[in-house]
Amino acid sequence: MVKVLIADDLAPGAADIFRNRGIEVDMKVGLKKDELIAIIGDYDGLAVRSACKPDKDVIAAGARLKVIGRAGIGVDNVDVKAATAKGVIVMNTPFGNAITTAEHAIAMMFAAARQIPSASARTQAGEWPKKDYIGVELYAKTLGLIGAGNIGSIVADRALGLKMKVVAYDPFLTPERATQIGVEKVELDELLARADVITLHTPLTEQTRNILSAENLAKTKPGVILVNCARGGLVDEAAVRAGLDSGRIGAAAFDVFLEEPAKTNVLFGAPNFVATPHLGASTIEAQDNVAFQVAEQMADYLLTGAVSNALNTPSVTAEEAPRLKPFIALAEKLGLFAGQVADGGFSEVEIEYEGAVSQLNRKPLTSAALSGLLRPFLAEVNMVSAPAILQERGSQLKESKREESPVYDSLIRIRVKVEGKWRSVAGAMIAGRPRIVEVKGMALDADFHPFMLFVNNSDKPGFIGSLGALLGEASVNIATFNLGREAAGGDAIALVGVDQDPPPATLAAIEALPQVRYVKVLRF
């Protein structure tokens, strides 16, 4: 039975989604770390919000753990690196609370521009401080978006409705997308110089940490309004306080802080500062949406293999999964072949897709190929961890596609560079089974077998008889025998499926044959 643990307060309907799809679910909120470690080994999935913090120790204890679902966008509380290394998929729900968060940013922008919280507090305290609150209009002002993804684009849409001009800094924003959402794409320095209001809508990464540093804040227009409803750590809070105190910064409104819960903060008590306790996603609609969405995503993955909104592995839709499954198996086996013949290692990897497979979602196929490729070198590697591990090793990866294949409906070829020389293997699905159809550019047709002898030899008489005799003497039964060659008398290969793992002495005797250049036992 597939089991999921809900370890944070999620809308009750989330548990119903799991149960209705045949997944056993337990709700245990407020667990201490040691309590979570003690039970996580019983579960295939873990659903959290922000209070539960599955760190490397919790993930290591999850013997059955396959997926962590975060009901929300930010995954600061999840050790994604540890999850990736263990092959655990980490999902979030980037769209469930997007409108809510964007609306909060707009509300904070108005609150800061018109100093609404302070004016409200003083008015209700019996004052009538009308002369102390001269705000600024947002009409015709320039809004600078740092981050123009899902939430940022919604903020842009609302700001355009207010007749503001919108400029955006986002390295991933294409000119076409900028035109589509009605913003002008600019570099960060230009945004800082032009924006009357700056809002942040980017995750916290090493590239975005302190993106509004003291140095960058000094480049902004006098009187600029800052709004941060994204992540604490994006802004130098002490520098903002200094700017508010001096009047260089007109106002600031933050929903997030470097340290949360923010019981104290350098910004608290500053003039023209508005604070809310991380309320960006706190609406009834958003909490229901993210809870239901994460439950559906996790259930889809655990039951069908479909992957949605994963941070550490390619997404695969439920419709794609059945069609991709046989090619994933083929890619992984071809990778395992290439990894075993790479011996000591490789410096470059090329994966080529030909024919119909080139039109499929190739990212999971590449991940599967890399998983197989790295397995001979690493005990624990899978589709989730393989791409990150390859990057850490410094090996170059190149992927290419060709819409037509000369011989097969679909073909996958893997090439690895070993000590300056390329080694290659290609495969195809034939009659529903993964087959090896090319090695070192030589055509053949071989089934994958649990034990296979890969022999590179010269095409000269006597080789096949000698090889068969040596295997017979060792009582190693031949299951399949496939040959390929460049030309008569030239370079040749033999792929021999055997029922037993040949003993070392037999391998040495095969390698000593005058026609043999290389021999290797491949295990699948």
Lookup: tokens for 417: 């560079």
Lookup: tokens for 4: 């999921």
pTM over 0.85: no
Strands, DSSP E only, in 208-360? 224-228, 249-254, 273-275, 348-355
Q: Is residue 280 part of a domain?
A: no
Which residues lie below 8 Å from residue 395, measured CB to CB, with a gap of 6+?
346, 347, 348, 349
- Going by their DSSP bridges, the two strands 224-228 and 197-200 should be labelled as parallel
Q: Check whether residue 233 and residue 124 sit in a common domain.
A: yes
Q: Check whether residue 509 and residue 524 sit in a common domain.
A: yes
Cβ atoms of residues 134 and 182 within 8 Å: no
d(CA 512, CA 489): 19
Name the CA dihedral angle for 173, 174, 176, 181, rounded to a multiple of 10 degrees: 0
d(CA 41, CA 37): 7
Lookup: tokens for 205: 């990464």
Count Cβ atoms below 10 Å from residue 132 Cβ, excluding itself. Answer: 11
What total number of domains does the chain contain?
4
Cβ atoms of residues 456 and 441 within 8 Å: no
Secondary structure of residue 244 in the 3-state scheme: helix
Question: Which residues partner with 426 through β-bridges?
Answer: 413, 438
Secondary structure of residue 223 in the 3-state scheme: coil
Last-in-domain residue among 426, 448, 470:
448
- Going by their DSSP bridges, the two strands 45-48 and 67-70 should be labelled as parallel
- C-alpha closest to that of 517 among 492, 486, 481: 492
Give pLDDT tens digits along the chain (524 positions): 999 999 999 998 999 999 999 999 999 999 999 999 999 999 999 999 989 999 999 999 999 999 999 998 778 899 998 998 888 999 998 778 889 999 999 999 999 999 999 999 999 999 999 999 999 999 999 999 999 988 999 999 999 999 999 999 998 888 889 999 999 999 999 999 999 999 999 988 788 999 999 999 999 999 999 999 999 999 999 999 999 999 999 999 999 999 999 999 999 999 899 999 999 988 989 889 999 999 999 999 999 888 888 888 877 887 888 889 899 999 999 999 999 998 767 889 999 999 999 999 999 999 999 989 988 887 667 788 788 778 877 788 999 999 998 999 999 999 999 888 899 999 999 999 999 999 999 999 999 999 999 999 998 899 999 999 999 999 999 999 999 998 888 889 999 999 999 999 999 999 999 999 989 999 99
Q: Is residue 77 part of a domain?
A: yes
- C-alpha closest to that of 468 among 459, 460, 479: 479
The answer to whether residue 260 is catalytic is yes
Q: Check whether residue 102 and residue 223 sit in a common domain.
A: yes
Lookup: tokens for 387: 């791409």
Cβ atoms of residues 62 and 88 within 8 Å: yes
Largest CA distance in the chain: 106
In angstroms, how far is the first alpha carbon of the chain from the final one?
28
Q: Check whether residue 89 and residue 223 sit in a common domain.
A: no
CA-based torsion, 446, 450, 454, 460: positive or negative:
negative
Q: Check whether residue 251 and residue 168 sit in a common domain.
A: yes
Element (H or E) spanning 500, and its range?
Answer: none
Strands, DSSP E only, in 32-101? 45-48, 67-70, 89-91
- Classify burial at 485, counting beta carbons within 10 Å of its beta carbon; exposed 0-12, middle 13-18, buried 19 or more: middle
pLDDT of residue 87: 86
Q: Check whether residue 51 and residue 110 sit in a common domain.
A: no
- Classify burial at 114, counting beta carbons within 10 Å of its beta carbon; exposed 0-12, middle 13-18, buried 19 or more: middle
Q: Is residue 177 part of a domain?
A: yes
Lookup: tokens for 360: 């499929």
Q: Check whether residue 376 and residue 425 sit in a common domain.
A: yes
Cα of 65 vs its chain's centroid, Å: 17
pLDDT of residue 343: 75
Catalytic residue among 104, 201, 278, 435, which?
278
Whats the size of the chain, residue-wise? 524
Cα of 105 vs its chain's centroid, Å: 27
Backbone angles phi, psi at 60, to 5 degrees: -65, -30
Q: Check whether residue 225 and residue 119 sit in a common domain.
A: yes
Using alpha carbons, list the distances in angstroms from residue 440 to 343, 421, 443, 493.
15, 11, 9, 9
Last-in-domain residue among 448, 472, 494:
448
Element (H or E) spanning 520, and its range?
Answer: strand 516-523
Q: Check whether residue 137 and residue 266 sit in a common domain.
A: yes
- Could you say which DSSP state residue 480 is in? E
The answer to whether residue 194 is catalytic is no
Catalytic residue among 231, 375, 435, 449, which?
231
Strands, DSSP E only, in 52-205? 67-70, 89-91, 142-146, 165-169, 184-185, 197-200
Task: Please report, for the domain that includes residue 10, its CATH number.
Answer: 3.40.50.720
Angle CA 494–496–501, to nearest 5: 135
Q: Check whether residue 408 and residue 337 sit in a common domain.
A: yes
Q: Check whether residue 271 and residue 293 sit in a common domain.
A: no
d(CA 290, CA 10): 9
Residue 179 domain boundaries: 98-275
Task: Please report, for the domain that includes residue 469, its CATH number.
Answer: 3.30.70.260
Secondary structure of residue 407 in the 3-state scheme: coil
Cβ atoms of residues 188 and 217 within 8 Å: no
Question: Which residues partner with 184 through β-bridges?
Answer: 167
- C-alpha closest to that of 491 among 455, 445, 451, 449: 455
Cβ atoms of residues 524 and 332 within 8 Å: no
CA-based radius of gyration for the chain: 30
d(CA 324, CA 467): 38
The answer to whether residue 104 is catalytic is no
d(CA 207, CA 62): 31
Last-in-domain residue among 395, 428, 448:
448
Catalytic residue among 35, 215, 260, 285, which?
260
- What does the pLDDT look like over 469-518, one tens digit per residue? 999 999 999 999 999 998 888 889 999 999 999 999 999 999 999 999 98
pLDDT of residue 344: 65
Cβ atoms of residues 199 and 146 within 8 Å: yes
Task: Please report, for the domain that includes residue 342, its CATH number.
Answer: 3.30.1330.90
Q: Is residue 456 part of a domain?
A: yes
Q: Check whether residue 176 and residue 229 sit in a common domain.
A: yes
